[in-house]
């Protein structure tokens, strides 16, 4: 008996979890497949089952998205999602081959990911400083100066922080792919973290167990004395970005900003890759490409007005 799409997608999600894919990646793949399923049903009248998908269907879907004005990156991500689903179905013996093979992605001019310019970074930090919230200042400063991911930030414990003459680092124990790495701290982060710890000690905060600070406690807590969540960090960044009159700012944009700052400072790409937790410098290489803002500055450099 043929399984319904929801059951099939659940089996596929379980496979992705077994492959140690992140929750964000799994969500993106699933969303893309549901959009494809809707189009597929409207276009062919059939349910989206692996055995019903043909290369012609995938090509038509790509062309439909092109006609809708979708960005090349969006279209190509959808093709990757469909291909991954079909690869899984092939491994499961549901189909003899992957119908997405041979479907060419949409060509796109590669650009570096959006990053905040220096004046925007300063505006964001000023907005945090004005509130006097030391926790939030530590959060924004760490994201901007270490490039750690939002999930890595939320999982940090006090014991992961080392501030001494010999070592100023944070230990990321639950990085992408469960990889552990050490990230060095610069003087800006060191100063803010010392302020944050002093603030907690002076308040004898109920969020930590007395003085000295309990090293088993999380570094950041949110409401109801619970460890800060991804959602909580996103809300914090969004709030201060609004105050600073900045648009489209997220924790991941701050990670991009850190990476671009390092590349623009002339740091070797292999070192930047190590700090960001990239397994390949090919991933880090995107930060060597100009952003839209860089190109705008380039053409403005010859403007007559």
Cα–Cα dist 150/139, whole Å: 10
Asked if residue 58 has pLDDT above 70, the reply is yes
Superfamily of domain 118-298: Intergrase catalytic core (1.10.443.10)
Q: What are the structure tokens assigned to 50, written together?
A: 């692996």
Express each pLDDT in 161-185 by its tens digit: 999 888 899 999 866 666 789 999 9
214 confidence band (pLDDT: 50, 70, 90): low
The pLDDT of residue 128 is 97
Quick one: average pLDDT of 276-302? Answer: 87
Q: How far apart are the first and last CA of the chain?
A: 70
Express each pLDDT in 114-129 by its tens digit: 899 999 999 999 999 9
* pLDDT: which is higher, 213 or 9: 9
Name the DSSP letter for residue 174. S
Cβ-based burial of 53 (10 A; exposed 0-12, middle 13-18, buried ≥19): buried
The torsion region of residue 49 among left (phi > 0), alpha (psi -120 to 50) and beta comes to beta
* Cβ neighbours for 200, distance < 8 A, ≥ 6 positions apart: 207, 208, 213
| Assigned CATH topology for domain 5-91 | DNA polymerase; domain 1 (1.10.150)
Per domain, the residue ranges of the chain are 5-91, 118-298
Q: Is the dihedral of CA 197, 200, 202, 204 positive or negative?
A: negative
Asked if residue 196 has pLDDT above 50, the reply is yes
* Cβ neighbours for 294, distance < 8 A, ≥ 6 positions apart: 112
Cβ-based burial of 167 (10 A; exposed 0-12, middle 13-18, buried ≥19): exposed
């Amino acid at each position: 008996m043929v399984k319904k799409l929801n059951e099939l997608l659940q089996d596929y999600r379980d496979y992705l979890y077994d492959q140690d894919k992140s929750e964000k990646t799994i969500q993106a793949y699933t969303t893309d497949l549901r959009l494809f399923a809707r189009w597929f049903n409207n276009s062919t009248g059939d349910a989206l089952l692996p055995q019903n998908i043909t290369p012609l269907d995938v090509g038509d879907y790509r062309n439909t998205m092109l006609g809708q004005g979708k960005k090349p990156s969006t279209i190509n991500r959808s093709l990757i999602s469909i291909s991954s689903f079909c690869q899984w179905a092939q491994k499961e013996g549901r189909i003899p081959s992957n119908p997405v093979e041979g479907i060419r992605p949409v060509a796109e001019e590669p650009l570096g990911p959006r990053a905040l310019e220096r004046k925007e970074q300063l505006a964001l930090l000023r907005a945090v400083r004005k509130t006097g919230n030391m926790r939030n200042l530590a959060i924004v400063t760490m994201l901007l100066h270490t490039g750690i991911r939002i999930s890595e930030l939320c999982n940090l414990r006090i014991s992961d922080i080392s501030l001494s003459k010999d070592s100023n680092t944070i230990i990321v124990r639950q990085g992408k792919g469960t990889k552990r790495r050490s990230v060095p701290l610069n003087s800006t982060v060191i100063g803010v973290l010392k302020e944050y710890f002093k603030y907690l000690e002076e308040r004898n905060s109920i969020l930590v167990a007395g003085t000295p600070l309990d090293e088993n406690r999380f570094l950041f807590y949110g409401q109801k004395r619970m460890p800060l969540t991804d959602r909580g960090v996103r809300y914090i960044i969004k709030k201060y970005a609004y105050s600073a009159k900045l648009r489209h700012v997220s924790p991941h944009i701050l990670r991009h900003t850190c990476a671009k700052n390092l590349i623009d400072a002339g740091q070797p790409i292999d070192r930047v890759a190590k700090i960001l937790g990239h397994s390949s410098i090919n991933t880090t290489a995107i930060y060597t490409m100009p952003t839209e803002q860089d190109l705008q500055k380039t053409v403005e450099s010859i403007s007559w007005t």
